Structure 1
Amino acid sequence: MAVMWAALLLVGAICLLDLFLTLGVVRRLREHTAHLEKLMQGGGAMPATGLPEAGAVVGAFEARTLDGEEISRDVLSGETLVAFFSPGCKPCLEKLPGFLEHARHRIGGRSLILAIVAGGDSSEEMVQALRPVSRVVVEDGYDGPVARAFHVSEYPAFCLVDSEGTIVAAEGDVTRLALPADR
């Protein structure tokens, strides 16, 4: 009889532990949902992939390139290629050489290419590689003003933007991005 009571107490304790863990998961899901809703209130579309959707309008932003040029949605002209990198991101480091090669041959050159590097001080080597082929903006973190305006939460990200600030295409690899200006 004592074994049965001990087993019953053990099962009860396990059920209580399971209840507390389930309540914790529900609480985290609510926080996560609230965070996603807050991100989506920015006015553009951000699918589950973390890349902006084609057809979304880039939000307003202001930034300064390392060359001192003021950049905003209004100064994007033609078909601007915008790339988002982070020095701490292994896929970014793997895709950087392909982007650099593509940028060297892109019609319109450096004036139609904008690279955003999220990483602050640790980004010097990446920035030096990007500067000859693109205008470069360094943001302190992954949610800087340009990344928020484009609704980018996945790195690397490559976007083609028209003169009106509409995203024509977005991919996680520049080689999969349809770039009509390159024909």
Structure 2
Amino acid sequence: MTVLVAAVILIGLLCGLDLLLTLGVVKRLRQHTELLSGGAGVVSTTDLAVGDPVGAFQTSTVDGERLDDRTLAGTSVVAFFSPDCGPCKEKMPKFVEFAATMPRDRVLAVVAATPEEAAPAVAALAPVARVVVEGPDGPLGAAFQVNGYPTILAVSHDDGQLRLTSNRVRLNRPAVAAA
């Protein structure tokens, strides 16, 4: 009988320990979910590291404005979206809100699609950003070494070279652009 009581107590202690560990895992998963949901920003998918130079590029916006790696002034934000990307659809409204706090010439949005597929995204982005539509292997995607969407980066000129200054852009607070 004492063996049976000891076994029940041992099983009870093991179940209590398991419950405690499970609650710890749930708490940690909630923290990670908050980080990944955009509360802490967007971690971008690029092969460039902070401080790396951006490759040379030449392209045109949907408005016909010519752009190259020398025309991005001051600190700028460059975002890459794809119309068939679920996370892009979630992040784009937050990005539009964020971009509205910056001068339009400091925000560049790239939509990786055909012009027909990109039309709704272009309509949403054009009021707050210069917009470029290109294929997945277009000149901007290649220059920024983008390998996934959405990708939101901050860049700035340093020693005459366009460089990546951040690959984690916080969309939950207003932008502060350098003059």
Using the size of structure 1 for normalisation, the TM-score is 0.66
Larger relative contact order (C-alpha < 8 A, sep ≥ 6)?
2
**Is the 1:115–1:136 Cα contact (8 Å) retained in structure 2?**
yes
Aligned partner of residue 160 in structure 1, secondary structure: strand
Which of 115, 118, 126 is the matching residue for 1:131? 126
**Paired residues for 1:113-128 under 5 Å:** 113-120=107-114, 121-128=116-123
Amino-acid identity (%): 41
**Residue 162 of structure 2 aligns with which residue?**
165
Q: C-alpha distance in 1, partners of 2:143/2:152?
A: 14
Write the deviation string for residues 88-142 of structure 1: whole angstroms up to 9, x where unpaired. Answer: 1000000001000001112xx1110000000112110011000000000000x21
Which of 92, 97, 109 is the matching residue for 1:96? 92
Q: C-alpha distance in 2, partners of 1:177/1:154?
A: 24
Bigger proportion of residues as strand: 2
**2:162 aligned partner, one-letter code:** G
Structure 1 outlier segments of 4+, above 3 Å: 176-180
Structure 2: gaps (5+ residues): 1-44
Bigger proportion of residues as helix: 1
Q: Considering only aligned residues, what root-mean-square deviation do their CA atoms show, in Å?
A: 2.2
**Is the 1:51–1:170 Cα contact (8 Å) retained in structure 2?**
no
Structure 1: gaps (5+ residues): 1-48
**Is the 1:51–1:154 Cα contact (8 Å) retained in structure 2?**
no
Q: C-alpha distance in 1, partners of 2:60/2:170?
A: 24
**Residue 69 of structure 1 aligns with which residue?**
65
Using the size of structure 2 for normalisation, the TM-score is 0.67
